[in-house]
């Protein structure tokens, strides 16, 4: 039995593409049943549509709690076993976590707890670290504070800038995220 996965994203969807490719493999333990974003221009939505996956857009609202409740309700309509934040640049709130806590994972381009937040790669470079990396974690109510599931180091090379370093981190992130989704859904069915 394959598990149902909903992916949330805000941008180009390279992490989503890795998940779509893995889900298309024979015997994959999961399927992507929907992809959602707060931005109608997120290219990841196009990737999903091209793969035949349902999409939804829920723009941010003035009342953040109302948005959070609508997001939880919208995602719940797809009956996911797991929800994946794949470059989703919005924090969810209590209504979403109440419904999907313990079933909502995220990836982050740093070795948490170091460099949380939206500028992790820039912050790592500014700090002068020789090694950074990627983390996949269970989302909780904090900013990048959830239980760490897996991490992998990425060396900072001489001459690295934010773009070159982030691209190398994304390669690791994609592999880790696919691996964790596969592991978590297999555990659910064991």
Q: Which residues are annotated as catalytic?
A: 108
35 to 103, 151, 158, 159: CA distances (angstroms): 16, 25, 37, 36
Contact 117, 144 (CB under 8 A): yes
Structure token pair of residue 127: 């700090």
- Exposed / middle / buried, residue 61 (Cβ in 10 Å: 0-12, 13-18, 19+): middle
């Amino acid at each position: 039995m394959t598990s149902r996965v909903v992916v949330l994203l805000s941008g180009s969807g390279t992490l989503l593409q890795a998940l779509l490719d893995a889900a298309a493999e024979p015997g994959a333990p999961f399927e992507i049943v929907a992809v959602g974003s707060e931005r109608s221009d997120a290219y990841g939505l196009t990737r999903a549509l091209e793969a035949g996956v349902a999409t939804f857009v829920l723009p941010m609202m003035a009342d953040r709690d109302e948005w959070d409740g609508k997001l939880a309700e919208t995602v719940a309509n797809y009956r996911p076993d797991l929800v994946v934040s794949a470059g989703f640049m919005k924090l969810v709130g209590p209504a979403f976590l109440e419904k999907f806590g313990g079933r909502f994972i995220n990836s982050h381009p740093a070795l948490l707890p170091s460099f949380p937040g939206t500028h992790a790669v820039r912050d790592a470079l500014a700090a002068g670290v020789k090694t950074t990396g990627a983390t996949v974690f269970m989302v909780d109510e904090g900013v990048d504070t959830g239980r760490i599931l897996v991490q992998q180091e990425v060396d900072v090379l001489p001459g690295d800038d934010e773009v070159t370093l982030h691209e190398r981190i994304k390669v690791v992130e994609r592999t880790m995220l696919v691996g964790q989704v596969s592991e978590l859904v297999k555990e659910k069915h064991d």
